[in-house]
Every structure is written in C-alpha cells, then in structure tokens.
Amino acid sequence: MQRIVYLERESIVADVRRPAFPHVWIEHAMTRQSEVRERLNGATIAIVNKLCIDAGLIAGLPALQMIAVAATGTNNVDLDACRERGIVVSNIAGYAEQTVPEHVFALLLALARNLPAYGKAVGSGAWQRSTQFCFFAYPIRDLHGATLTVIGKGCLGSGVARLAEAFGMRVLFSERKRADGVRAGYTPFAEALRVADVVSLHCPLTSETRNLIGEAELRAMRRSAWLINTARGGLVDEAALVCALREGWIAGAGFDVLTVEPPPDEHPLLAPELLALPNFLLTPHVAWASRPAMQRLADQLTANLEAFARGVPQNRVA
C-alpha cells in the first residue's frame, strides 16, 4: 500500500481528489524545511510544491518511490539524485496556460497605460482640480504595433504570444542566450533584446538561465522597453534591476516572482521608493493562481499519482 505524504496542502486552494488505489494519505497544511525529513520518513510518495528535496534528503528516505511536484517548476528537486535512485518525479503541465498569460497582460497594460499613476492622481484629487474633462499628465502607449520578445516557447510563452498577436503586436521568440546556432522561428538572443518594446520571461530556472537578465542585458534593452517576469525570480539579477529602474535603463518592469519567497522585509525590490514608482509593479506570485487553474492543477496532480500507480508515469521529468 502506498503511503502518500502531502507536505504543503495549503499551497493550492482547490479540491484534491484522493487517488483511486489503496493508500494511506497524510497531509500537512504547511511544512518547514527542517521538518521535511521527519515527515517523509516511510513515505513512498511525496507531494511537494516549493520545499527543497535535495540529494541528502533523498539518501535518507529509502522508501521513497515518487515525488509529485504540485507545480510546473522542479528546480527545488535534485533530479539527478532521483534518477540515480530510480525515483519518479512528475510535475504539472499546461494548467496555467490561460491564467499566466492573462496576468502578463494585466501587468503590461497597467504599465502601458500608466494605471498606477492615474489611480494615485484620482486619489490625490488631481483630476478633480483639473481645468478640463480629462487629466492626462502621464504618457499612455498602445500595445498595437509594439514588438514583444518572448523568452521560452512552452505553453505559457506561446499563450502570451497568442494574446500579443490579438493585440496587434509583433512577436519574436528569443533563441537561447549562448546558443551555437539559431533555430527556425527564433531570433538571436541579443537581437531579440535589442529590438523589443516588451520582454516577457517564460523559461525554467536552471544553472544556465540563472541571472539570464543582468546588467548587460538590461542596458542593451531600449530605454522605452518593459520587462515582465512571471516565471522565476532567479532569472533576473535583482540588484541590476534596481539600478535599471532607478537610473532609467528601461521604461519599467512588472514582476510576479522574486528570488526568495516569501521575501524578507529588506529585499531590495521591496524598498518603499521602488514600490512607489508607477513603472514598477510587483505581485506576490499569483499569476498562476486563478481558481480554475488551481483546480486543473489539483486534478492533474491526482492523475499523476494514479498513472504512477498503474506503472505508466505521466508528466515525468525524472
């Protein structure tokens, strides 16, 4: 009988159907990293979201047969160690293909139309004191005709591209940063950054993509360009981004992710002067979190467990 331990049940708001095979189900609302080993002792299946499952933990869990990641990203799991042990790792694919692109455009439209600045102007009484019917103190830009560079051509990047085309934007898919060649349908990385009015990140966080966007890349972008990151915080050098926003290397940024989550109060991107900027928007890792998307995640999570029990794992990454 499988012993399933769900370590972070409160990380999704959805109905999680129990799998249709004999099992013992143990769930914890949340788990501290220091509690992982004890709580997974004797588990054959672990369900995790963001907790780190490294080689040391894996070595101390001889009963473990499967890690079901209740998310798409798997950078928190040592996949090589799992492969060496024969532990199956499955993630969730495609569940957020509508909600994340919509969040990207929520951020982008707010930046393009200067919604934070106009909202504050109304709150401060500036419109009420206007001498005419409108108050247009802040520039507004259209997305139609603008160039969007998408980094990452999976379901989320492709979903963003489809919405962009509906807005009349020109869409480029960037080739990998250090690629030896350029695949058909892709644009060289440096050129894709240089010509973009908007850069949107949709690639996984790996050793190759960590700090993918740093000072050199931010300086190479147009001063009128926006950077959108709904993927992983570690894709962008946050210290360089702070400088870019303060010194005007780019027009602005919309972020849903940080390198440390939840962030400490002293995180550089939480500085009051940055959060007060109308051209920097930060949301708390919720681009994926519409209720329909979370239910699709939960349904697929159970399906992954059942596929593993049948001996035909799906969405397998290790």
Query: Which active-site residues does the annotation give?
Result: 232, 261, 285
Other CB atoms within a 10 A radius of the CB of residue 303 amount to: 16
Query: H/E/C letters for each residue in 95-140?
Result: CCCCHHHHHHHHHHHHHHCCHHHHHHHHHHCCCCCCCCCCCCCCCC
Record the tokens describing residue 315, joined without a space.
Answer: 């969405």
**List of residues 6+ apart from 129 with CB closer than 8 A:** none
Strand partners, 6: 27, 47
Strand partners, 172: 149
Rg (CA), the chain: 22
**Among candidates 208, 249, 206, 257, which has minimal Cα distance to 228?**
257
Other CB atoms within a 10 A radius of the CB of residue 19 amount to: 21
| Sheet containing strand 66-69, strands side by side | 23-27, 2-6, 45-48, 66-69, 88-90
Distance CA 267, CA 260 (A): 9
Distance CA 76, CA 11 (A): 15
What single DSSP character describes residue 207? T
Q: φ and ψ at 201, to 5 degrees?
A: -95, 130
**List of residues 6+ apart from 274 with CB closer than 8 A:** 242, 245, 246, 268, 280
